[in-house]
Amino acid sequence: ATSDTPLVVTTAIPSPGFVRLKVQVKDNNTWLDDKDNVFDGGAGADVMNIQEWPAPADFASFWQAATNTLYSTPYVPVCTNFNPAGAVSGVSYYLFDIPVAAGELNVTGILAKPANAAAGSCGIITHTTGYGFGRTDLPSSSEVLAGNIVVNIARHGENPWHPDGSYYTNEVQNGFAKNFCFRNNDLTVQDTDYYKMAMRDLRALQYAKTLPEWNGTALETKGGSMGGWRAITLAALDCDVKQCNASIPWSVDLAGHVKYGYMKGWRPDWTANLDYVDLKNLATLVKCPVTFTAEPLH
């Protein structure tokens, strides 16, 4: 029964952590699940002492070797000017397709910069998209017109602007990227989708930094959910990143469910390989400021 009296829930946990509380309203035996009738939140206790599974002993050296190999591997980029629907005056748009490693998918996406931008006049902003399958969004025209090279990196190495929407369902979601990030995690780290995605994202940023319009200083990464994982990973592995903005980043503390009984959530089953791509470990390599955001449910 509803009441004007506030609902008070008192509970305790035996060790540092979070308690999750979900409250729904029932109307005539039907649960209401719209946002105005659901509370889904919680509270933390002694959160600075939550137990965590340690990173691998060779974590930092593993990634140093991986990035050294990537950056020393020659590549020939293809960056083609195009005029998409929704193009904004004063912005030049490009589709890019750049090799990463032999036998692997190229990194693809959409790059935009101010038309006729002078050499050394622009910052770089990367946008990394969250989990899903579909067209890559056009770069933000407001960010471009503010004096930035904006790079929207595709998720899987797919065609970022395919004219047939069924391509993303038939060839990507149900084809070469089926079960993305939930597969191959028991093979090697290099076989995981996380690792391959990180290498593609780093290559895109490596290429962007060769553009003559970059001022050599301003460099920002942005993304939400899986895109948040990607944004922080770029900041962790590219020391030129000066600012990172991540919203509700995905794949943090992947071992906690198995090792300590923490809530699992929607993410792959833990394997030891995932310790190398766990965002809580990658975050320890970040040297620049990071801004986190989380959208409220109400």
| pLDDT at residue 208, as a whole number | 98
The SS3 of residue 167 is helix
The parts of the chain modelled with pLDDT lower than 70 are 1-2, 296-298
3-state helix, strand, coil in the chain (%, to 5): 30, 25, 45
- Tokens found for residue 2: 């509803």
Q: Which residues of 89-125 are buried (b: 16+ CB within 10 A; e: fewer)?
A: eebbbbbbbbbbbeeebbbbbbbbbbeebeeebbbbb
Q: Is 62 exposed, middle or buried (0-12, 13-18, 19+ CB in 10 A)?
A: middle
Please report where in the chains the tokens 């991986």 appear, as a residue.
Answer: 66
- Average pLDDT of every residue of the chain: 95
| pLDDT at residue 36, as a whole number | 80
| pLDDT at residue 2, as a whole number | 64
Between β-strands 17-27 and 38-45, what pairing exists: parallel, antiparallel or unpaired?
antiparallel
| pLDDT at residue 296, as a whole number | 57
State the Cα–Cα distance between residues 82 and 48, nearest whole angstrom.
Answer: 50
| pLDDT at residue 8, as a whole number | 87
Q: pTM for this structure?
A: 0.92
| Host H or E run for residue 211 | none
- Tokens found for residue 60: 């930092």
- Tokens found for residue 36: 């105005």
Strand partners, 107: 98
- Give the contacts of 140 (CB within 8 A, at least 6 positions apart): 125, 127, 150
> For residue 167, which phi and psi values (nearest 5 degrees)?
-55, -40
> Cβ–Cβ contacts within 10 Å for residue 136, how many?
20
For 201, 205, 235, the CA distances from 213, given in Å and listed in that order, are 20, 14, 21
| pLDDT at residue 77, as a whole number | 97
| pLDDT at residue 139, as a whole number | 98
